[in-house]
Amino acid sequence: MGRPVFLFASSLLLMVAATTVSAATVEHSFYVKNFSVTRLCNRQVITAVNDSLPGPSLRVREGDKLIIHVFNMSPYNMTIHWHGVFQLLSAWADGPEMITQCAIRPGNKFTYKFRIINQEGTLFWHAHSSFLRATVHGAIIIRPRVRHSYPFPTPYREVPIVLGEWWNANVVDVETRALALGVGPNISNAYTINGWPGDLYPCSQNQMYKHRVKQGKTYLLRIINAAVNSHLFYKIANHNMTVVAVDARYTNPYVTDVVVISPGQTVDVLLTANQPVGSYYMTANNYASASGTAVGVPFDPTTSRGVIIYQGASSSTTPLMPVVPAFNDTPTAHKFFTELTSLVGGPHWVPVPLNVDHKMFVTVGMGLDVCPPNVSCLGRPPVGAALSASMNNVSFVSPTSLSLLQAFFFNVGGVYTTDFPANPPVQFDYTNPSINFDPPLLFAPKGTRITKVKFNSTVEMVMQNTAIIGVENHPMHLHGFDFYVLAQGFGNFNPATDTLNYNLVNPQMRNTVSVPVGGWAVIRFVANNPGVWFMHCHFDGHMSIGLSTAFIVENGPTPDTTLPPPPTDLPQC
């Protein structure tokens, strides 16, 4: 059955045209370079933007145009990804290395230009090259247009809360070592809140984020998980929070005493300072879903602390400490992830498309690789093999000579194939732990196999976790689109029964979904944005060993739905 032309076929044109009204141009310069900071008793050289950790917040309004000049003064290849930004007709600015562009080499520069179209809330930017995301990141704060308002009471203040990870090491070396040994990366030494580890870590009594509040006032906390490899619980002692948006999509108000946030996700909450005058710790600690699996995945068990200080509180008052969730509290995580719903009728809400053109069932999980040349493979998992990852038994390999988008636009052959399987090549009992080391399932072939879909087609994907090597919660991020999260559950997806539980009325919308540990998630999106769009696990350690794929969305029928040529200063390989 066809869908109304005015709703879909011309939606891209209408969204782009809408930006010409009351829009501003916001321009920044990012100087990416090395500098030294002191954390956890150590003086450490890090790579960051404009000598700050986190980097600068980009504050814009819906409809604005951004121009970001990136000067790579670091010793590393570098790209910047504007995580969650649709990049409508600006796919060249999306940023993932070798997907939409080649790297900005040391000593070179590139200018990203794009508009914020039909998005409000919190997103973030980060490096999309190696583990540099650990220190190269910052907030994107998108407010409504002038004379437009939030769909909730205007807060007294807005506060970015950027959660991260810290290593007492060069983060590029952390990834290089893992790949050289064929194992997972070393765990971080600390978690951070707005760049600070907090007073539970060595030498960090005075390295703690502090936010002062007025009693009775309501604050909008824009929480970002910029961590490289960790899901996080976030709490504030004696305070509830009201979730009003996730991934720059408004939600029905959801009251909670804990926020669960995966790498790549954002959560906007209203915090009312309604407690007695005093000080209250905020905490961030790991939700380690993979602990106890077949490979005994290690995790950082520490807790970062910041503090909320009420105006008039005595400086001698000891802050109250919240009860921190256990690292393996899957029931709390699943409750938070599944009970959020979209604000139907709110700004930029679009009803769920009911007709699906392209259905996919995709397994996501870990595996092994035959030990590659120049890799020792002497550590975990089994000696003589390297850790790998795959989707539908394809372990993704990035091209080396040309980005996927360049190959698509210029019709260059030999860079990729469009035969990514829409279903697993082998069906099995996906979440049964007895398959942990089943040899026929362990070794996924490497390849640059992706999916091509028609412009304006509707794609539905069931992402099924597997127990190969061990189960884990995988944060899956799709570039270029938000998607509806129709359902989530544990065990093997059962189409006969689980499809009956799809939320087609007000499902939450996201750009990053946490596929439950030992479970599945179903997403749906409209491919109304021509270009090449990366999909990958937002654990950098998993992405780097193949837990990725990509979509090509073909051009639409008019010039206004056709990808323009690349900018003249696009970096070359």
3 state SS for 378-429: CCCCCCCEEEEEEECCEEECCCCCCCHHHHHHCCCCCCCECCCCCCCCCCCC
For residue 396, give every residue at least 6 positions away whose Cβ sits within 8 Å of its Cβ, in sequence order, or none: 390, 446, 447, 448, 449, 536, 546, 547, 548, 549, 550
How many Å separate Cα 526 from the centre of its chain?
A: 19
Alpha-helical segments (H) within 431-531: 439-442, 495-498
What pLDDT sits at residue 434? 84
Tell me the pairing of strands 303-310 and 259-261: unpaired
Query: Tens of pLDDT along 30-56?
Result: 999 999 999 999 999 999 999 999 999
At residue 295, does pLDDT exceed 90?
no
Judge whether residue 138 has pLDDT over 90.
yes
Residue-wise pLDDT tens digits, 76-87:
999 999 999 999
572's CB contacts (< 8 A; 6+ apart) are 102
Average pLDDT, the chain: 93
Q: Is the pLDDT of residue 19 over 50?
A: no
Give residue 181's pLDDT.
Answer: 86
User: Which tens digit of pLDDT belongs to each residue from 498-542?
Assistant: 999 999 999 999 999 999 999 999 999 999 999 999 999 998 888
pLDDT of residue 456: 97
The model's pLDDT over 462-512, given as tens digits with 9 standing for 90+, comes to 999 999 888 888 999 999 999 999 999 999 999 999 999 999 999 999 999
Asked if the model's pLDDT at residue 292 lies above 90, the reply is no
Q: How many residues does the chain have?
A: 573
Tokens representing 341 are: 């719903």
Is a pLDDT exceeding 60 seen at residue 257?
A: yes
* Residues forming beta bridges with residue 447, ordered by sequence position: 396
Over residues 135-147, the mean pLDDT reads: 97
Q: In what order do the strands lie in the sheet with 137-143?
A: 58-61, 137-143, 121-127, 80-83
3-state helix, strand, coil in the chain (%, to 5): 10, 40, 50
Q: What is the mean pLDDT of residues 100-126?
A: 98
Band (437; pLDDT cuts 50, 70, 90): confident
What pLDDT shows up at residue 289?
Answer: 78
Domains and CATH numbers, the chain: 21-148 (2.60.40.420), 149-341 (2.60.40.420), 358-561 (2.60.40.420)
pLDDT given for residue 317 in this prediction: 87
Q: Report how far Cα 253 is from the mean position of its chain's Cα atoms.
A: 22
Model confidence pLDDT, tens digit, residues 405-422: 999 999 999 999 999 999
Please tell me the distance from the alpha carbon of residue 181 to that of residue 371, in angstroms, as a whole number.
9
**Average pLDDT for 243-266:** 98
Rounded Cα distance, 226 and 223, in Å: 9
Encoded tokens for 264? 């790549």
Asked if the model's pLDDT at residue 279 lies above 90, the reply is yes
Q: What is the pLDDT of residues 202-237, one digit of tens each?
A: 999 999 999 999 999 999 999 999 999 999 999 999
Task: Report whether pLDDT(290) > 80.
Answer: no
User: How many Å apart are CA 283 and CA 278, to the nearest integer?
Assistant: 17
Q: In terms of pLDDT, which residue wins out, 423 or 383?
A: 423
**What pLDDT, in 10s, does the model give residues 325-380?**
999 999 999 999 999 999 999 999 999 999 999 999 999 999 888 888 878 887 66
Neighbours of 149 (CB within 10 A): 11
pLDDT at 379: 64
In terms of Cα–Cα distance, which of 152, 363, 377, 349 is closest to 255?
Answer: 152
pLDDT at 294: 44
Residue 111, burial from CB neighbour count under 10 angstroms (0-12, 13-18, 19+): middle
How many other C-beta atoms are found inside a 10 Å radius of the C-beta of residue 350? 14
Q: How confident is the model at residue 565 (pLDDT cuts 50, 70, 90)?
A: very high
For the chain, what percent of residues have pLDDT higher than 90? 83
- Other C-beta atoms closer than 10 Å to the C-beta of 408 total 25
Cross-sheet strand order for the sheet of 474-478? 451-453, 548-553, 531-537, 474-478, 512-515
Residue in the block written with tokens 């909320």: 308
CA distance 430 to 361: 12
Burial (CB count within 10 angstroms: exposed 0-12, middle 13-18, buried 19+), residue 404: buried
pLDDT band at 385, cuts 50/70/90?
Answer: confident
- DSSP E strands in 40-184: the ranges are 42-49, 58-61, 65-72, 80-83, 109-115, 121-127, 137-143, 157-166
Residue 377, token pair as written in the block: 């493979």
